[in-house]
Amino acid sequence: GKGRAWDIGKVRTTCPYCGTGCNFDLEIARRSDSKGQTREEVIGVASSIDAPVNGRALCVKGRFGTDFIHHRDRLTTPLIKKDGQFVEASWEEAIAFAASRLGDIHAEYGGDAFGVLASAKATNEENYLLNRFARTILGTNNIDHCARLCHSSTVAGLAASFGSGAMTNPIEDIAKTDFMLVIGSNTTESHPVLALSMLRAIRQGTPCVVIDPRKTELAALAHKHLPLKPGSDLALLNAMAHVIITEGLYKEDFIKTYTEGFETLCEAVTETTPEWAESICGIDADLIRDTARRYARAQRGSIYYTMGVTQKHTGTHNVMAIANLALLTGHIGREGTGVNPLRGQNNVQGACDMGALPNVLPGYQPVTDAGVREKFARTWDVKIDSLSERPGLTVGEMLQGAHEGRLKSMLIMGENPVVSDPDSQHVIEALERLDFLVVMDLFLTDTARHADVIFPACSFAEKEGTFTNTERRVQRVRQGIQPVGDSRPDWQIIGDLAAAMGSPFPYRDPASIMDEIAETTPSYGGISHHRLDKEGPLCWPCPAKDHPGTPRLHMNGFVRGKGKFHAVPYLPPAEQPDDEYPLILSTGRRLFHYHTGTMSRRSGLEEVYPEEHLEIHPDDADDLGLKDHDWVRLSTRRGAIEIAVWMTDRIVAGMVFTSFHFVEAMVNKLTNAATDPIAKIPELKVCACKIEKIDCP
């Protein structure tokens, strides 16, 4: 019908894609029709000079990637699977059905028959609530999320070295450093706006060395690029420690005052000479020496890294080797220095902070600590004995448990393990063997297809809450429009399930959940929605209402007391190329898409980047008789996919690379599920593969 003109409004919120944490204004068009019905639509995104992290800058995903909010594929009503088909259901019916099945399974098998996947895409408040649901209502510590696949080795490695597993310095310190070492990070594609600070620093003369098997855009612009063989990071890092120690470039006073274990490291790297490392990683020994010297001699040296370091079966040791370098040189606890893991998803830092991990409760408080369990039992109004002291299962262990019939049911909030986790076939079989699978999502993902009940969830534009970005900055997410269709925010779905299972939660809204987070989680002690709205974002630790937040960690000594050196011997990748599988396959991200593509591929970005390809070095292509755009079958010991090749010398010979965004070329059918024994992170960055030319399908 005829209605009034559209009103255009703006709502400041936080980008739902990467961990850089850009803020922008959602532009909302609203109109009431003659019947008094209001229509609302997100029509665009505008940046603003006063956004704390990004100012006016946004990357293509933030600027053009939000069409998924109103995409026709949005799930708008709950679905229950009946005779193998999804059938629409009312909320009452779907919640009652899920609650009753979960209750039955609990009664028959107990809490540890459940596995729960929280989400680095959901808000802090939702992750906290799902945690409470898992620990108190399902009665299990089996809760984890996709941080297991990206920075679980950082959380473990930096916690052991420094006492806190997070980025030590803020993004603004990139402008203050005088030497940048970037390892295993394709920053311009994975953290584009953060990378702008790096590019600006390089332009202004800050030396930058990039260590990466691929000549990424940043590597091409850096002062030096060290294209090491995939999986040889630890050899190179130990050789750098060797140079710094044998040439006396370490900071003796700093080591004496603030660290322990120096002798252990000295002994461990006696033999790890640059020449030894050259034979493993293929980088000239003099280049390794030069990089070590420049980092050690810098006034404010800084290290940035991502999944090239962490997604290895030696991921935790790789992280510790990086921490060793910072401890040797004292490049930590000061402006412009630090060990800076760039967190991937918009709220992966927050999901970890909120205890979406099997061994800790919110704020990294161990489940094994009786005092911690007592505190949470009091807050959550349950008996202390009902909170298990036994650490739960990781994602990989849950899926293995489902495979073996030990795990009977899973609840998955906004994750898509069929596409994101290694060895997809194994994941599908695991989900199919469950008695009962509940999924909460915006779309019918490849994971949701295996569910018994799907709850339609709201996007970031339809709810209130907070995300915590890579630099520990807690930022507001604000509701711009009413929920699309009959969808509900995850926090409400969890609350509805809790109530149906006989234990209603006491929260009015996300702000009241944050008030409880502040009570139970010391590093968030001074944070509230009210304060964030009034004062702007705050970096944790922010222990009290009058505390200004902590952009830099370890300024007055380490969180764990003394920084600890670790002896971390080099180990080759779990799977080596051989006669049958002669090449190395590595996976990563592209600028135009995000993770399993459920959001970015339902936006205008899909027009720009609609299909995936396999990067291959021209020498390898020649050997295989391949030309650009030829199609190949790419296989590993776990499966095969078909994909077109892209010949490029930005990759080292002997290695091929593609992203995991495209379900049509589902590379995680091929990747290796071998894990780091400490963090249980899979070795997604290296596995052996072969290529055969095929006709264009």
Element (DSSP H or E) covering residue 62: helix 60-64
Judged by CB, which is closer to ligand SF4: 207, or 465? Answer: 465
Pick out residues in 134-193 that bind ligand SF4 (CB under 6 A): 191-193
> Does 58 sit near ligand SF4 (CB under 6 A)?
yes
Judged by CB, which is closer to ligand SF4: 21, or 163? Answer: 21
Neighbours of 359 (CB within 10 A): 17
DSSP 115: E
Judged by CB, which is closer to ligand SF4: 171, or 357? Answer: 171
- Of the candidate residues 12, 15, 419, 460, the single one contacting ligand SF4 (CB under 6 A): 15
> Does 69 sit near ligand SF4 (CB under 6 A)?
no
- To ligand SF4, the closest distance from the beta carbon of 476 in angstroms equals 14
Angle between helices 124-132 and 490-500 (to 10 degrees): 20
- To ligand SF4, the closest distance from the beta carbon of 462 in angstroms equals 18
Cα(157)–Cα(151) distance, rounded to whole angstroms?
10
Cα(283)–Cα(227) distance, rounded to whole angstroms?
7
What is the SS3 assignment for 410-462? Answer: EEEECCCHHHHCCCHHHHHHHHHHCCEEEEEECCCCCCHHHCCEEEEECCHHH
Cα(199)–Cα(203) distance, rounded to whole angstroms?
6
Judged by CB, which is closer to ligand SF4: 61, or 300? Answer: 61
Contact yes or no for 545/649 (Cβ under 8 A): no
- To ligand SF4, the closest distance from the beta carbon of 193 in angstroms equals 4
Q: Which stretch binds ligand SF4 (CB under 6 A): 52-60, 368-376, 472-480, 598-606?
A: 52-60
Task: Reply yes or no: is the peptide bond before residue 541 cis, omega within 30 of 0.
Answer: yes
- To ligand SF4, the closest distance from the beta carbon of 603 in angstroms equals 12
Position closest to ligand SF4 via CB: 62
Contact yes or no for 393/134 (Cβ under 8 A): no
Judged by CB, which is closer to ligand SF4: 193, or 241? Answer: 193
Q: Which stretch binds ligand SF4 (CB under 6 A): 34-42, 53-61, 127-135, 620-628?
A: 53-61
Radius of gyration of the chain (CA): 25
Judged by CB, which is closer to ligand SF4: 315, or 537? Answer: 537
Contact yes or no for 159/165 (Cβ under 8 A): yes
> Does 230 sit near ligand SF4 (CB under 6 A)?
no
Pick out residues in 184-213 that bind ligand SF4 (CB under 6 A): 191-193
Q: How many residues bind ligand SF4 (CB under 6 A)?
A: 14
- To ligand SF4, the closest distance from the beta carbon of 188 in angstroms equals 10
Distance, C-alpha 65 to centroid of its chain = 19
Query: What is the b/e burial string over 324-352, where b = at least 16 CB atoms within 10 angstroms of the residue's CB?
Result: bbbbbbbbbbbbbbbbbbbbbbbbbbbbb
- Give the residue from 180, 239, 182, 235 showing the smallest Cα distance to 205: 180
> Does 468 sit near ligand SF4 (CB under 6 A)?
no
Judged by CB, which is closer to ligand SF4: 111, or 350? Answer: 350
Q: Which stretch binds ligand SF4 (CB under 6 A): 19-27, 424-432, 491-499, 565-573?
A: 19-27
Quick one: 248 exposed, middle or buried, by C-beta within 10 A (0-12, 13-18, 19+)? Answer: exposed
> Does 59 sit near ligand SF4 (CB under 6 A)?
yes
- Of the candidate residues 25, 28, 62, 174, the single one contacting ligand SF4 (CB under 6 A): 62
Q: Which stretch binds ligand SF4 (CB under 6 A): 15-23, 460-468, 570-578, 603-611?
A: 15-23
Cα(207)–Cα(299) distance, rounded to whole angstroms?
12
- To ligand SF4, the closest distance from the beta carbon of 433 in angstroms equals 36
Pick out residues in 385-424 that bind ligand SF4 (CB under 6 A): none
> Does 477 sit near ligand SF4 (CB under 6 A)?
no
> Does 306 sit near ligand SF4 (CB under 6 A)?
no
> Does 17 sit near ligand SF4 (CB under 6 A)?
yes
- Of the candidate residues 13, 21, 436, 645, the single one contacting ligand SF4 (CB under 6 A): 21
- To ligand SF4, the closest distance from the beta carbon of 307 in angstroms equals 15
Judged by CB, which is closer to ligand SF4: 79, or 193? Answer: 193
Cα(284)–Cα(308) distance, rounded to whole angstroms?
20
- To ligand SF4, the closest distance from the beta carbon of 664 in angstroms equals 23
- Of the candidate residues 12, 13, 22, 120, the single one contacting ligand SF4 (CB under 6 A): 22
Judged by CB, which is closer to ligand SF4: 66, or 394? Answer: 66
- Residue in the structure block whose two tokens are 């807690």: 474
Judged by CB, which is closer to ligand SF4: 218, or 407? Answer: 218
Phi, psi dihedral angles at 375 (to 5 degrees):
-60, -50
Quick one: 72 exposed, middle or buried, by C-beta within 10 A (0-12, 13-18, 19+)? Answer: exposed
> Does 236 sit near ligand SF4 (CB under 6 A)?
no
Judged by CB, which is closer to ligand SF4: 58, or 427? Answer: 58
Contact yes or no for 552/170 (Cβ under 8 A): yes
- To ligand SF4, the closest distance from the beta carbon of 54 in angstroms equals 6
Instruction: Give the list of residues 6+ apart from residue 607 with CB closer than 8 angstroms, or none.
Output: none
Judged by CB, which is closer to ligand SF4: 56, or 297? Answer: 56
Single-letter code of the amino acid located at 253: D
Residues near ligand SF4, by CB under 6 A: 15, 17-18, 20-22, 54, 58-59, 61-62, 191-193
